[in-house]
Structure 1
Amino acid sequence: MRRSSAETKTVILAAARERFAADGYDKATIRAIAADARIDPAMVMRYFGNKEKLFAAAAEFDLELPELASELAGAGLVRHFLRKWEADEGLQVLLRTGVTNEAAAERMRTIFGGQVLPFVVRITGDPAGAPLRASLVASQLLGLALSRYILKFPPMVAASEEELVARLGPTIQRYLTG
């Protein structure tokens, strides 16, 4: 069965996301991804050039940041990110890989810089202070994800969404508006 170019890219990206999730960046191979997609490895290279570019494409995420009133932004962000991390294992893979791989770390910086920073500017109305505020917000949200989903600290795993929102929301709020 012949696929269109767009369909082939979609199949490759789906296989890459699953393989990166299962094996991590370093252990995932173009050959394994191609086998998962049931195509020749040369096709992966044709569409994406190399493993790093394939990873960047597979690690493209829209954080879908909600519209929040500034006084509710801290709790809203914590709730949103908990749900996002739960729903999208790819973000967990990106975090896990970003700790040891520069390409993944750059992807994470690009995603957070391109999406969280404008959110913070909108909430604060402070373009000059927003980069530091956004970095502080990211440190809390990424720390939460690392301890809950990657390292799986038992108290973090056991905590309810509402408990985490109640405890971390005020800290995020202070970073945003304090």
Structure 2
Amino acid sequence: MNAREAIITAARELFGAEGYTAVTIKDVASHAGYSPAMVMKVMGSKAELYAAATPTAPAGDGAAFTAEPLGFQLARRLVDRRERQESEPWAMALVRVHDAPDKAAAREEIREKYLGWLQEQLGAGPDGRAETLMAMLIGFGSGMRSLGLFAQEPADDLVQRYGSLLQQVIDG
């Protein structure tokens, strides 16, 4: 892994766990095994580092969908990322908007990518289901990551319970 990849990986872990404002360049440098000067040389600024480390789309995990119903697949992806301690795009969506220099542009980008991706998965027109799912996924991801909700619940039980809620919205 080269320096840029190591720095981005460290930043992704820290930003995902602690949020943008709590993480410093020094924190990222220490976690990656480099000096703060090296982090700045490679990444340019904290904002550029954050942009590089933050997933830009919910499907960024590269996992193939299974025969399982979509609601359960979506829940499983969030729970699996939590179990692997990977960055959670749904939880980071709000942070990306709030920490962006141009909030309106960031809001539009997130809506376009995330909502567009959900609409593709649903294969339906704008009937409100994609927006409802997006709100549910943001809440689920943020609750698990920021508040530690469901920490003691077995992963499969959580996927079944939350997946059934998501599937109810999908099915209308």
Shared fold per TM-score greater than 0.5: yes
Rounded Cα–Cα distance in structure 2 between residues aligned with 1:158 and 1:88: 15
| AA of the residue aligned to 2:131 | S
Inter-CA distance 75–20: structure 2 relative to 1 (3 Å threshold):
closer
- Identify unmatched segments of 5+ residues in structure 1: 1-5
Any idea what the Cα deviations from partners look like across 1:37-88, whole Å, max 9, x if unmatched? 454544433332211110111123613353245x811122212221122213
Give the structure with the larger helix fraction.
1
Partner of 1:140: 136
From 55, 58, 61, the equivalent of 1:60 is: 55
Rounded Cα–Cα distance in structure 2 between residues aligned with 1:99 and 1:149: 15
| 3-state SS of 1:20 partner | helix
Partner of 1:165: 159
Partner of 2:76: 79
For residue 110 of structure 1, report the CA deviation from its aligned partner: 5.0
Contact 1:25 1:97 in 2 (8 A): no
Contact 1:16 1:54 in 2 (8 A): yes
Inter-CA distance 82–107: structure 2 relative to 1 (3 Å threshold):
farther
- Identify unmatched segments of 5+ residues in structure 2: none
TM-score by length of 2: 0.69
TM-score by length of 1: 0.67
For residue 121 of structure 1, report the CA deviation from its aligned partner: 2.0
Rounded Cα–Cα distance in structure 2 between residues aligned with 1:111 and 1:100: 8
Provide the alpha-carbon RMSD of the alignment: 3.8
| AA of the residue aligned to 2:64 | P
| AA of the residue aligned to 2:10 | A
Rounded Cα–Cα distance in structure 2 between residues aligned with 1:149 and 1:108: 21
> Where do residues 105-144 of structure 1 align in structure 2 (5 Å cutoff)?
113-114=112-113, 117-123=116-122, 125-129=123-127, 132-144=128-140
| AA of the residue aligned to 2:153 | A
Contact 1:59 1:107 in 2 (8 A): no
For residue 13 of structure 1, report the CA deviation from its aligned partner: 1.6
| 3-state SS of 2:2 partner | helix
* Count of residue pairs the alignment pairs up: 167
| 3-state SS of 2:55 partner | coil
